[in-house]
Amino acid sequence: MNKKLLVSLFLCLFIFSSGLFAEKKEEEAKTIQFLLRKDLLDAYYYEVEWRTKLCEVNIFKSDPIYLGHVPASPKAEAIFFELWFQYWYDFEFSCTKKRTTGGLSLEIINPDVIPAGLEVLCGATYFTLTDMFPGDWQTDGEDRMTFSDKYCLFRDNAWFWSVRDKDTKVPVSNEEAISIINKLIRKGFDIQFYVWGNVQGAYNMLLNWICMEVTRIQ
Q: How confident is the model at residue 212 (pLDDT cuts 50, 70, 90)?
A: very high
* pTM of structure: 0.81
Residue 33: pLDDT band by 50, 70, 90 thresholds? Answer: very high
pLDDT digits (tens, 9 = 90+) for 142-182: 778 899 999 999 999 999 999 999 999 999 999 999 999 99
pLDDT surpassing 60 at residue 24: no
The Cα–Cα gap between 203 and 213 comes to 31
For 73-130, the pLDDT digits (tens) are 999 999 999 999 999 988 877 788 888 899 999 999 999 999 999 999 999 999 988 7
Q: What is each CA distance from 5 to 2, 12, 18, 158, in whole angstroms?
A: 5, 10, 20, 52
211 contact partners, CB below 8 Å, separation of at least 6: 37, 38, 39, 40, 83, 84, 85
Would you say 205 and 87 are in contact if contact means Cβ atoms under 8 Å apart?
Answer: yes
What's the rounded Cα separation, in Å, for the pair 3 and 168?
72
pLDDT exceeds 60 at position 20:
no
